[in-house]
């Protein structure tokens, strides 16, 4: 499975969800490509293994070989993530790192189940 991850800053109370997300993806042996600024934000608070990850910083270096793009943040982040997949036919799943989301409607409590 090829997973792309796009996200923005989030509150520290979401750190455990990010840790769990990467545990689930590692267990599934997923190929993960992550928005590089988001990786650097995460890595300041949580030590992530860089091995095996690939990175993208803009639409030009975003490869179209992903099965899904995970948008981590709120509805605004979800809308921004559309620019990466707009003509590639890649579905987006929005994981809400805040309180309420209409587009990014997967809560942190539902995240693991939604990834299966």
**Residues assigned a catalytic role:** 75
* Beta strand spans in the chain (E): 2-7, 31-35, 54-56, 68-73, 92-96
Residues near 65 by beta carbon (within 8 Å), at least 6 away in sequence: 2
């Amino acid at each position: 499975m090829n997973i792309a991850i796009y996200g923005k800053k989030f509150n520290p109370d979401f750190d455990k969800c990010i840790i769990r997300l990467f545990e689930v993806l590692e267990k599934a042996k997923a190929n993960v490509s992550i928005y590089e600024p988001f990786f650097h934000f995460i890595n300041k608070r949580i030590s992530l293994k860089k091995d095996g990850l690939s990175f993208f910083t803009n639409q030009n270096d975003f490869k179209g070989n992903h099965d899904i793009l995970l948008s981590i943040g709120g509805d605004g982040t979800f809308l921004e993530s559309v620019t990466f997949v707009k003509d590639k036919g890649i579905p987006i799943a929005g994981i809400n790192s805040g309180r309420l989301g209409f587009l990014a409607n997967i809560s942190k409590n539902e995240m693991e189940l939604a990834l299966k």
